[in-house]
Amino acid sequence: MIAILPTLAEPQQFSLPEKLLFAALVLASAWAFWLRFSIVLHKILQSKKDSNFHLFPIAKRIRDFVSEVLFQSKVIRQRPAAGLAHAFVFWAFLAFALVTLNHCARVFGLGFLSPAAPIGRFYFYFAAVFAAACAIGILALFIRRFFLRPKWLGQKLSWESGFIALLIFALMATYLAAFFVPSTGPQIRILWWLHTLSLLIFLPIIPHTKHLHLLLSPFTVFLSRGSFSQIPPLAGDEDFGLITGQDLTQLVSLQAYSCVECGRCTEHCPAANTGKLLNPKEIILGVRAYLNDLGPQSDQPLLGKYNSQQAVFQCTTCGACEFQCPVGIEHLPILIGLRRGAVNTGAWEDDHGSKLFLNLERGSNALGISPIERDKFIERQQLPLFDGTQEYCLWLGCMGGYDPKGREIIADFARIMRFLGTSYGVLRKEKCTGDPVRRLGNDLLFQQLSESNLEALAQNKVKKIITICPHCVRTIQEDWKEYGTPPEIEHHSEFLARFAHKLPSKISPGAPGPSLLGTRDEPALSSQSPNSGPGEKKIVFHDPCYLGRYRNVYEEPRAVAALAGSLVEAPRNHDRSFCCGAGGGLAFLGEETGERVSHVRTAELVATGAQTIATACPFCNSMFRDALSSTSEPAPQLLDIAQLAARSLPKQ
């Protein structure tokens, strides 16, 4: 069978001038490559060491490497068509490693793969399959970039990308063509030289362009910080975050040079999508430009010419950028690092931000409300105080303790816990977990709040915490680790899903309940009103960033919401969910520029036609409530999954 297939032709002999010319070209190409690459390498290596970096445990690194680099999982998953085209190019490159080596070795008669020998013959066919796929792939990518022009690739056409595509296509075409020419004669010689020239031109272009990701991103992926949105501890007394080039660590520099400018981060960024200044891709490129111009030893500020402070403080820390970055860039430690630099030195001046910080310096909650109000709520709801005998400590959080709507969620969740016979108690005193100040980069306040809370929890002998707020969950479980050992913590969606089978399932069919919005003086959605729950009501669940991307909990809240009706999905759901606009401390930072993130997301949820919007985060809830109240049309009900679950409980 193999016999009927054409054989790869190779020039048989190379003359001395040819050998010399080839050697000279290779040297020139390598020299041009190294000229730039050595600078990049130097800048990365000269950057500050990552003090908390540990190579071990290495298993996860290997897993991620295999999945994200070798199998291109992130590239394909987020943009399947373009991703697959890219994957073929990548795989062809891998397959071509041996072919290219053999190709060059051949000049000096050192070829190790022979088209005639079975192994060589097989390998060349193998590579040819990839070459064909690659040629088609690169052609498709070329058409996409230059004719379809998706907006996240930027306004400006990248001619270098076009040229690179041409070179890759030439490499593949010249390889494939060699199967169809005789191994003697000028044709193969021309093909061989074209292939060689394409290769030698390609090599020096790599470090000069975003194609540097070819070389760096495998390392970037392998050398990640270890987990999503991991904020590194400050190292020593003089580390206040990312202020100047001297604060850029090797990982940050490596990541900055790895960016392939695909724009996936920007495509998903809630700020960039609503007319804000922030564009996560430009943040990374800003750091790269800084490194190019000034280098990692510079004492020039990072914020100013290269990146804007305003942009950095527009981030909701939803993590969509970092979550799907195909080359392993960790945007959140960089964005939050820049915020830390500005806040820890007092350079950030913002009326709302200062008010939030002062509220938490002096008081116990981000809202600046007296804790006496929390005491009153606990008394009114007859919530038991935690005394060490109960199974769970029910953490109210700022929203659960003070926000009228958050309190309704707590009240309903407490009803469910009572119904299930789960013992729980609330702390007499509770402070903000520090989530908003952590994300805004105020390390002083965050340390004070986490230490004070950790101490209170230890004193009360709390073993397990349960809360309605994904921000509290994340902060307690992950961020507090910097200052102690937090108790076990669970989000109420996880708890409710576990006991879903014990909750009265399905609701008696009935007439649709009155829409609560627009029928009152103000759209006060109170839990007393949703008294009817028709069986086939459509419910759309909004994935909170801090539950989904941050905690990988997607199905549990859906299982709970499904108790009350049939689920529909918003266009952006699960790990692609679009932020409500509240995260990263932004719930406290006053009016946004451009469109409101919450309005965009609310419109998307309303457009599903669902009668109920289900949330699992009191911040999302509060943002949507606000957004819904500014429309005068009849809007869907807005309920937390705990409220949905509580509706089917027997009346007490």
Partner 1 sequence: MSGILVVIEQRPGKPANAQIARISWEALAAAERLGPPASVTAVVLGANTESAASEVAARAQGEVIRVEHPLLAPYAAEAFIASLHQLIQSEAPTYVVLPHTYQVRDYAPAIAARFGQVLIGDVTAITSAENQPPIFTRQLMQGRLNGNYRPTGSGPCFVSVQAGAFPAVTAPDATQAAISTFTPAIDAAQIRTRPGAPFRAAAQAVDLSAAQIIVSVGRGIRAEENIPIVQELATALGAELAASRPICDSGWLPLDRQVGSSGQTVAPKLYIAAGISGAIQHLVGMKASQCIVAINRDPSAPIFEVADYGIVGDLMEVVPALTEAVKAAKQ
Partner 2 sequence: MKIIVAIKQVPDRDAPVHIDAAGKWIEEADLEYTLNEPDAYALEEALQLRDLHGGEVIVLSAGPDRVATTIREALAKGADRGLHILADDLASRDAFGVASLLAAVIKQENPDLILTGLQSEDLGLGQTGVIVAELLGLPHATLILHVEKTDTGIEVKRELEEGWFQTIQLPTPAVLTIQSGGSKLRYATLMGIKRAKMKEVKQLAAADLAPAAAPTVVLEQLSLPTKKISTQMLTGTPKEVAATLVEKLRTEAHVL
Among 74, 405, 431, 474, binds partner 1 (CB under 8 A): 405
Question: Rounded to an integer, what is the distance from CA 129 to the centroid of its chain?
Answer: 34
Q: Are 582 and 619 in contact (CB under 8 A)?
A: yes
- Out of partner 2, partner 1, none, which partner does residue 526 contact, by CB within 5 to 8 A per kind? partner 1
Site string for partner 2, 330-349 (x = CB under 8 A): -------------xxxx---
Q: Would you count residue 111 as binding partner 2 (CB under 8 A)?
A: no
- Out of partner 1, partner 2, none, which partner does residue 521 contact, by CB within 5 to 8 A per kind? partner 1
- Out of partner 1, partner 2, none, which partner does residue 630 contact, by CB within 5 to 8 A per kind? partner 1
- Out of partner 1, partner 2, none, which partner does residue 367 contact, by CB within 5 to 8 A per kind? partner 1
Q: Are 99 and 123 in contact (CB under 8 A)?
A: yes
Binding to partner 2 (CB under 8 A) within 370-409 occurs at 370-372
E strand map for 397-439: 424-425
What's the closest the beta carbon of residue 371 comes to partner 2, in angstroms?
A: 5
Q: Are 594 and 276 in contact (CB under 8 A)?
A: yes
Q: How far is 298 from 403, CA to CA, in rounded Å?
A: 46
Block residue for tokens 């819904």: 628
Q: How far is 577 from 573, CA to CA, in rounded Å?
A: 4
Among 154, 363, 368, 513, binds partner 1 (CB under 8 A): 368
CA angle 539–540–543, rounded 5-degree value: 140
- Out of partner 2, partner 1, none, which partner does residue 651 contact, by CB within 5 to 8 A per kind? none
Q: Would you count residue 362 as binding partner 2 (CB under 8 A)?
A: yes
Q: Rg for the chain (alpha carbons), in Å?
A: 29
What's the closest the beta carbon of residue 520 comes to partner 2, in angstroms?
A: 18
- Out of partner 1, partner 2, none, which partner does residue 443 contact, by CB within 5 to 8 A per kind? partner 2
Q: Would you count residue 444 as binding partner 2 (CB under 8 A)?
A: yes
Among 111, 218, 226, 363, binds partner 2 (CB under 8 A): 363
- Other beta carbons within 10 Å of 222: 16
Q: Are 649 and 416 in contact (CB under 8 A)?
A: yes
Closer CB to partner 2, 327 or 445, in the complex:
445
The DSSP element (H or E) to which 18 belongs, if any, is helix 16-46
Q: Would you count residue 629 as binding partner 1 (CB under 8 A)?
A: yes
User: CB-based contacts of 591: which residues, under 8 Å, 6+ apart?
Assistant: none
How close are the terminal C-alpha atoms of the chain, in Å? 80
Among 19, 60, 481, 520, binds partner 1 (CB under 8 A): 520
Q: Are 614 and 542 in contact (CB under 8 A)?
A: yes
In the structure encoding, which two tokens stand for residue 504, read together?
A: 């009265």
The DSSP element (H or E) to which 210 belongs, if any, is none
Closer CB to partner 1, 563 or 582, in the complex:
582
Nearest to 564 by CA among 503, 636, 490: 503
Q: Would you count residue 581 as binding partner 1 (CB under 8 A)?
A: no
What's the closest the beta carbon of residue 587 comes to partner 1, in angstroms?
A: 8
Q: How far is 243 from 205, CA to CA, in rounded Å?
A: 32
Q: Which stretch binds partner 1 (CB under 8 A): 20-28, 82-90, 446-454, 629-637?
A: 629-637
Q: Would you count residue 443 as binding partner 2 (CB under 8 A)?
A: yes
Question: Rounded to an integer, what is the distance from CA 499 to the centroid of its chain?
Answer: 31
How big is the site for partner 2, counted in residues (CB under 8 A)?
23
- Out of partner 1, partner 2, none, which partner does residue 237 contact, by CB within 5 to 8 A per kind? partner 2
Q: Would you count residue 521 as binding partner 2 (CB under 8 A)?
A: no
Q: Would you count residue 303 as binding partner 2 (CB under 8 A)?
A: no
Q: Would you count residue 352 as binding partner 1 (CB under 8 A)?
A: yes
Q: Would you count residue 350 as binding partner 1 (CB under 8 A)?
A: no
Among 65, 124, 240, 323, binds partner 2 (CB under 8 A): 240
Q: How far is 299 from 107, CA to CA, in rounded Å?
A: 50
Q: Which stretch binds partner 2 (CB under 8 A): 182-190, 197-205, 369-377, 539-547?
A: 369-377
What's the closest the beta carbon of residue 269 comes to partner 1, in angstroms?
A: 21
**Which residues lie across from 568 on neighbouring strands?**
540
Cα 321 to Cα 279, 469, 595, 601, distances in angstroms = 10, 22, 19, 17
In the structure encoding, which two tokens stand for residue 624, read together?
A: 């949507």
Q: Which stretch binds partner 1 (CB under 8 A): 56-64, 177-185, 515-523, 608-616?
A: 515-523
What's the closest the beta carbon of residue 622 comes to partner 1, in angstroms?
A: 6
Among 349, 521, 633, 650, binds partner 1 (CB under 8 A): 521
Question: Residue 109 gets which letter from DSSP?
Answer: T
Q: Would you count residue 430 as binding partner 1 (CB under 8 A)?
A: no
- Other beta carbons within 10 Å of 629: 16
- Out of partner 1, partner 2, none, which partner does residue 588 contact, by CB within 5 to 8 A per kind? partner 1
The DSSP element (H or E) to which 199 belongs, if any, is helix 186-208
* φ, ψ at 165 (rounded to 5°): -60, -40
Cα 259 to Cα 34, 209, 256, 644, distances in angstroms = 19, 10, 6, 43
Q: How far is 74 from 480, CA to CA, in rounded Å?
A: 30
- Out of partner 1, partner 2, none, which partner does residue 371 contact, by CB within 5 to 8 A per kind? partner 2
Q: Are 160 and 205 in contact (CB under 8 A)?
A: yes
Q: Would you count residue 625 as binding partner 1 (CB under 8 A)?
A: yes
Q: Would you count residue 358 as binding partner 2 (CB under 8 A)?
A: yes
- Out of partner 2, partner 1, none, which partner does residue 406 contact, by CB within 5 to 8 A per kind? partner 1
Judged by the rule CB under 8 A, the positions of this chain that interact with partner 2 are 234, 237, 240, 343-346, 351, 353-354, 357-358, 361-364, 370-372, 442-445
Judged by the rule CB under 8 A, the positions of this chain that interact with partner 1 are 352, 355, 367-369, 399, 402-406, 520-524, 526, 528, 587-588, 590-591, 622, 625-626, 629-630, 632
